[in-house]
């Protein structure tokens, strides 16, 4: 007796799933089965490409239905309806990508079982790129390859078809798919471990940057934008505070070094309905600055920590505070961002803890120049394990072009005069563990840190909340430049907020050192193995 045909288990599960979270988890599990012989990078593009395709198609259908309704209301005759419905401008004018018939999900899903699904998907990607020049070179065409399991691909297409991504009244389809996209990005980052950190910053860290900087309007820039998480969070912030229609109050500028990550970012922005300028290509921020004339109001970034091999040009005009050492780009990132700040511009940067105290190769002098130049507004020491992808403890640098009462962008009322002062926040005890290895900052933590900053700076949001600033031993302290000088320009918050022993600071530096040395050692082992092989080959060639 032939086996009874039954629906794949995932699909059955999907019908009982009720929350978006469950849907995401089921999809993730299903997609994971496709991994097979693909490498992590390809697989990531593969799955995210599919979700993106579903998104453009859904958004298109939504617009199409709406258009049909509008046209009917305008009294357009039924027989002429089709002509208007196929008018590209009606879509692109509403920030909806034009999706040619063959690329619509309905047509893909109809072909899912045909065995040519890979081909159909590649053609769909191609058709969408041709119809929408802003997506040129962005979408992956990797579905019709030998290493793709056609049967599982068809199952996944089915699953995506069935999943209820459809929007409801308060949540358009766009948001639901945006969340799915982010959920997948986060999961990929975890699955890739250390290397995942290259394209993904944990969302509680990004939210903290956004809550402190409050980018309501103006130019937002991220020189190491990864998959574009900073921009998505900034847009969400505006939506939450000002409403959906204000999303366009910011313009977004980014640059990303890695080609694949750059594509993920382009898709991520598109899926969240953000018009951003990520340049026509990926590129190295140090060697090939894609936004040379940009003056940004807000810079937010999580650049790669402690990178050794970077394009260093000693006479680069960006090194206003001193030439960064060859062996570490941390101070190159900081100075690059400062060079991009417009009048009253502010920046929030995630960096390795070492950056707060390093004295090697002139970094101490650069930090001194930054402090003496009154560029540093606030330093935040973060708890450990926020980044599942790296053991290196991290901190936040907030830089400000203008710390005077008139220096807060977009604010008419006078703020506090913080010239010659730096706010130190020690948040190392904050956050809660979500599982054995990962910690997140809670909403309350974010509110406390950002609230402290705003109270100190005297921004409107602090005034509205009726908060005033005071030092809290063990948590925050505002120090004048003289005090910072006395501490040898070391910016580790623990030194200023008190109540924390100096030994702990050193323990952090040790943790960082151990992690760095471990990585180095593993690389050397690999190299040693290779060389052992070469030695064998060479000695085998000697005639004796």
Partner 1 sequence: MTEMMEVSAPSLSLGAAVLPGEWNWSPLGEVTLGIYDCPHSTPKLTDDGPYVVRTQDIISGTFRKAGAARVSRETYLERIKRAVPTQGDLLYSREGTYFGIAAEVPEDEEVCLGQRMVLIRPDASVVNYRYLRYWLNSPFMASHVHGSKDGSVAARLNVSTIRKLPTLLPRLVEQAAIAETLGALDEKIAVNERIAVTADELALALALDERWEKRIRLGEIADLSKVQQVPQEMSDDLVDHYSLPAFDSGKAPDRCSPLSIKSGKFVIDSPAVLLSKLNPEIPRAWDVVPDGSVPSLASTEFLVLVPGLGISTHELWSVVAQRKFLEELAAKVTGTSKSHQRVRPAEVMETEVVDPRQFGEVGGQIRSLAQSILAARRESKTLATLRDTLLPQLMSGRLRVKDAEKIVEDHV
DSSP state of 472: B
Distances (CA, A) of 401 to 246, 304, 347, 461: 26, 24, 9, 20
- From residue 311 to residue 330, the character string flagging contacts with partner 1 as x (rule: CB under 8 A) and all else as - is ---x----------------
Distance of CA 174 to the CA centre of its chain: 18
Choices 116-124, 278-286, 383-391, 501-509 (CB under 8 A): range interacting with partner 1:
501-509
**The dihedral formed by the CA atoms of 281, 282, 283 and 288, expressed in degrees to the nearest 10:** 30
6 counts as binding partner 1 under rule CB under 8 A: no
Name the residue nearer to partner 1 (CB basis): 362 or 405: 362
306 counts as binding partner 1 under rule CB under 8 A: no
Alpha helices in 146-298 (DSSP H): 150-162, 173-192, 203-213, 229-242, 259-271
543 counts as binding partner 1 under rule CB under 8 A: yes
Tally of CB atoms within 10 A around 122: 17
Q: Could you give phi then psi for residue 285, rounded to 5 degrees?
A: -60, -35
3-state secondary structure of 79: helix
**Distance, CA of 533 to CA of 526 (rounded, Å):** 11
Distance of CA 459 to the CA centre of its chain: 26
Among 9, 413, 444, 532, binds partner 1 (CB under 8 A): 532
CB of 484 to partner 1, least distance (A): 24
Supply the Cα-derived Rg of the chain in whole angstroms: 26
Among 144, 161, 277, 361, binds partner 1 (CB under 8 A): 361
15 counts as binding partner 1 under rule CB under 8 A: no
User: Are 92 and 71 in contact, with CB atoms under 8 Å apart?
Assistant: no
242 counts as binding partner 1 under rule CB under 8 A: no
Choices 206-214, 348-356, 434-442, 519-527 (CB under 8 A): range interacting with partner 1:
519-527
CB of 473 to partner 1, least distance (A): 23
User: Are 104 and 120 in contact, with CB atoms under 8 Å apart?
Assistant: no
Name the residue nearer to partner 1 (CB basis): 412 or 541: 541
CB of 56 to partner 1, least distance (A): 46
Pairing outcome for strands 341-352 and 376-381: unpaired
CB of 527 to partner 1, least distance (A): 5
Choices 160-168, 383-391, 461-469, 500-508 (CB under 8 A): range interacting with partner 1:
500-508
**Distance, CA of 236 to CA of 215 (rounded, Å):** 10
22 counts as binding partner 1 under rule CB under 8 A: no
Name the residue nearer to partner 1 (CB basis): 106 or 528: 528
3-state secondary structure of 344: strand
436 counts as binding partner 1 under rule CB under 8 A: no
Name the residue nearer to partner 1 (CB basis): 118 or 325: 325
In which region does residue 56 sit, left (phi positive, over 0), alpha (psi from -120 to 50) or beta (all else)?
alpha
524 counts as binding partner 1 under rule CB under 8 A: yes
147 counts as binding partner 1 under rule CB under 8 A: no
Name the residue nearer to partner 1 (CB basis): 70 or 506: 506
Name the residue nearer to partner 1 (CB basis): 161 or 368: 368
507 counts as binding partner 1 under rule CB under 8 A: yes
**Distance, CA of 392 to CA of 161 (rounded, Å):** 41
Among 413, 433, 444, 531, binds partner 1 (CB under 8 A): 531
170 counts as binding partner 1 under rule CB under 8 A: no
Tally of CB atoms within 10 A around 185: 23
CB of 518 to partner 1, least distance (A): 6
Among 74, 101, 293, 503, binds partner 1 (CB under 8 A): 503
Choices 42-50, 402-410, 450-458, 513-521 (CB under 8 A): range interacting with partner 1:
513-521
Run of H or E including 11: helix 9-16
CB of 257 to partner 1, least distance (A): 20
Contacts 24+ apart (CB under 8 A), 11-18: 11/155, 11/158, 11/159, 11/162, 14/159, 14/162, 14/163, 15/162
Give every CB contact of residue 162 below 8 A, 6+ residues apart in sequence: 11, 14, 15
287 counts as binding partner 1 under rule CB under 8 A: no
Choices 113-121, 287-295, 335-343, 525-533 (CB under 8 A): range interacting with partner 1:
525-533
447 counts as binding partner 1 under rule CB under 8 A: no
- The binding site for partner 1 (CB under 8 A) comprises 314, 361-362, 503, 506-507, 510, 513-514, 517-518, 520-521, 524-525, 527-528, 531-532, 534-535, 537-539, 541-544
């Amino acid at each position: 007796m032939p086996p009874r045909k039954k629906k794949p288990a995932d699909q059955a599960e999907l019908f009982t799933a009720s929350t978006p979270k469950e849907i995401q988890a089921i999809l993730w599990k299903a997609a994971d089965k496709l991994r097979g012989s693909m490498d992590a990078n390809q697989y990531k593009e593969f799955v995210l490409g599919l979700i993106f395709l579903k998104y453009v198609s859904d958004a298109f259908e939504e617009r199409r239905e709406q258009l049909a309704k509008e046209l009917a209301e305008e009294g357009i005759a039924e027989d002429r309806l089709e002509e208007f419905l196929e008018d590209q401008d009606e879509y692109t004018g509403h920030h909806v990508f034009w999706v040619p018939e063959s690329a619509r999900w309905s047509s893909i899903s109809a072909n899912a079982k045909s065995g040519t699904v890979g081909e159909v998907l590649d053609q769909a990607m191609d058709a969408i790129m041709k119809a929408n020049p802003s997506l040129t070179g962005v979408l992956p065409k990797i579905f019709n390859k030998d290493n793709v399991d056609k049967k599982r691909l068809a199952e996944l297409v089915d699953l995506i078809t069935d999943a209820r991504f459809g929007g409801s009244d308060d949540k358009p389809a766009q948001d639901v798919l945006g969340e799915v996209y982010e959920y997948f990005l986060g999961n990929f980052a975890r699955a890739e471990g250390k290397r995942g950190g290259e394209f993904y910053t944990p969302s509680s860290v990004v939210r903290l940057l956004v809550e402190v900087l409050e980018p309501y309007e103006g130019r937002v820039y991220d020189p190491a934008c990864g998959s574009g998480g900073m921009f998505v969070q900034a847009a969400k912030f505006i939506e939450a505070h000002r409403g959906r229609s204000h999303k366009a109050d910011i313009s977004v500028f980014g640059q990303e070094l890695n080609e694949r990550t750059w594509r993920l970012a382009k898709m991520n922005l598109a899926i969240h309905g953000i018009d951003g300028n990520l340049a026509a290509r990926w590129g190295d921020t140090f060697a090939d600055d894609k936004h040379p004339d940009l003056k940004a109001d807000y810079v937010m970034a999580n650049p790669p920590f402690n990178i050794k091999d970077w394009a260093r040009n000693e006479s680069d005009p960006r090194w206003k505070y001193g030439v960064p050492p060859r062996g570490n780009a941390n101070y190159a990132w900081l100075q690059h961002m400062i060079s991009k700040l417009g009048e009253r511009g502010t920046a929030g940067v995630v960096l390795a803890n070492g950056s707060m105290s390093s004295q090697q190769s002139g970094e101490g002098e650069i930090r001194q120049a930054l402090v003496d130049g009154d560029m540093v507004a606030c330093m935040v020491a973060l708890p450990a394990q926020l980044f599942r992808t790296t053991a290196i403890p991290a901190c936040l640098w907030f830089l400000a072009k203008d710390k005077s009462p008139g220096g807060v962008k977009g604010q008419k009322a006078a703020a506090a005069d913080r010239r010659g002062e730096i706010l130190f926040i020690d948040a190392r005890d904050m956050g809660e563990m979500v599982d054995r290895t990962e910690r997140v900052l809670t909403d309350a933590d974010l509110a406390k840190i950002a609230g402290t900053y705003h109270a100190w700076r005297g921004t409107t949001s602090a005034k509205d909340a009726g908060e005033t600033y005071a030092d809290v031993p063990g948590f925050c302290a505002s120090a004048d430049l003289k005090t910072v000088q006395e501490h040898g320009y070391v910016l580790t918050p623990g030194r200023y907020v008190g109540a924390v022993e100096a030994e702990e600071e050193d323990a952090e530096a040790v943790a960082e050192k151990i992690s760095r040395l471990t990585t180095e050692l593993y690389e050397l082992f690999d190299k040693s193995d290779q060389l052992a092989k070469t030695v064998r080959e060479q000695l085998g060639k000697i005639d004796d």
